[in-house]
Amino acid sequence: MRSATLSRRTPQGAPAPPALSDTELVLSGDVPLRDLDPWPLTVATYNIHGAVGTDGRFAPGRIARVLQEIKADVVALQEVPLGGSAQPDVLALLKEETGFFAVEGPTMQSEARRYGNAVLSRYPILAKESIDLSFGSREPRGALDADIDYHGHMLRVIATHLGLKPAERRAQIKRLLQAFDTDQAPVILMGDVNEWFMWGRTLRWLVSHFEAAPAPRTFPSRLPLFALDRIWISPRQRLLQVHVHRTALARVASDHLPLVAHIAG
C-alpha cells in the first residue's frame, strides 16, 4: 500500500540545468540544446557509499555539497545511513542542507542501524511505497516508489539498488517490472543496477520495457570504467540528455559518480 507523505518545507523554484563543464555528456537524440524547454526536470541517481569517500572519511557534508553542485530537482540515493543508535541519520542531514522533501526506503533495519534507499525532491512527495527485492540469504535489497507533484503533473520515480549476483538481479528485475506499468507515463526508474556488462540479461529486460538509454560510466569515481548507475524514463522521448557529474569533489565524496538526466516536462 502506498502511504501519504507530508512535509513542512516549501519547495523552492526549479533551477536551470547545470553547466556541463566537468561532465561527461551523452546527448539523447538530435534535440539542439537551444531549443529545449527552459525549465526541464533535472533528475539524478547517486550511490553515496554510506557517505564514506574514496579517502576513507565519513563526510556527509561532502555529499550535500555534491548535491548542491548537481542542482537536480529529484535525486535517487543508494547506500544511505538512515539513523539508529550506532550511526547518524545522513538523510536527515541532506534534507536539512538541501531544503528538499525526503522519503526513505530502508533495506536493513535494526535498533543500531537503518540503511537503504532514499528520494530527495524539490517538489512535494505525495505518496511512497517500499518494494522488497530481497533474494534468498543475499544482502536485503529494495526499491522506493514515490509519487511526486511536478507543477501539477504526477511523476512516478522509482529508486533502486540491485544485488551483486546475476541470478539475484534477474529475480529482482522480474519482481520490479511486475510492480509498475510503463504505460502510466511518465515513469522514471533510476539507481545502481550493479550490472557490469553493457548488455547483461537484466538490462535487456529493462530495455524491453523502457527502450535503450545512454549509459556513461560512473564507477569507480576516480577513474570510471563501468556504467553501474542508470536512468530510464517512459516514454523514452522525454529523455533529453544524460551526463556524469565529474568534479573534484564528486570524485572523492563517494566511490560512485552521480548520473544526471534532463527530462522534458
What is the phi/psi pair of residue 68, to 5°? -65, -35
Q: Is residue 129 part of a domain?
A: yes
pLDDT band at 18, cuts 50/70/90?
Answer: very low
Q: Is residue 1 part of a domain?
A: no
Q: Is residue 16 part of a domain?
A: no
Under a CB-based contact definition with an 8 Å cutoff, are residues 258 and 47 in contact? no
Percent of all residues in the chain with a pLDDT value above 70, rounded to a whole number? 82
The pLDDT assigned to 21 comes to: 42
Number of domains in the chain: 1
Residues 214-232 have pLDDT tens digits of: 899 999 999 999 999 999 9
Residue with cell 556488462: 197
Q: Is residue 143 part of a domain?
A: yes
* Residues 264, 236, 194, 42, Cα dihedral to 10°: 0
Under a CB-based contact definition with an 8 Å cutoff, are residues 60 and 92 in contact? no
Under a CB-based contact definition with an 8 Å cutoff, are residues 140 and 107 in contact? yes
Residues 39-92 have pLDDT tens digits of: 589 999 999 999 999 999 999 999 999 999 999 999 999 999 999 888 999 999
Q: Is residue 186 part of a domain?
A: yes
The pLDDT assigned to 185 comes to: 61
Q: Which residue has the higher pLDDT, 60 or 15?
A: 60
Q: Is residue 7 part of a domain?
A: no
Whole-number Cα distances in Å, 219 to 4, 68, 140, 163: 35, 21, 22, 16
Whether 141 shows a pLDDT value over 50: the answer reads: yes
The pLDDT assigned to 183 comes to: 62
Q: Which residue has the higher pLDDT, 116 or 179?
A: 116
CATH number assigned to the domain comprising residue 241 = 3.60.10.10
Q: Which residue has the higher pLDDT, 149 or 39?
A: 149
The pLDDT assigned to 11 comes to: 38
Task: Name beta bridge partners: 126.
Answer: none
Whether 23 shows a pLDDT value over 80: the answer reads: no
The pLDDT assigned to 110 comes to: 86
Q: Is residue 190 part of a domain?
A: yes
CA dist 71 and 160 (Å) reads: 21
Task: Name beta bridge partners: 149.
Answer: 154
Residue with cell 539475484: 168
Domain range for 53: 39-263
Residues 89-117 have pLDDT tens digits of: 999 999 999 999 999 999 988 888 899 99
The pLDDT assigned to 198 comes to: 65
Percent of all residues in the chain with a pLDDT value above 90, rounded to a whole number? 60
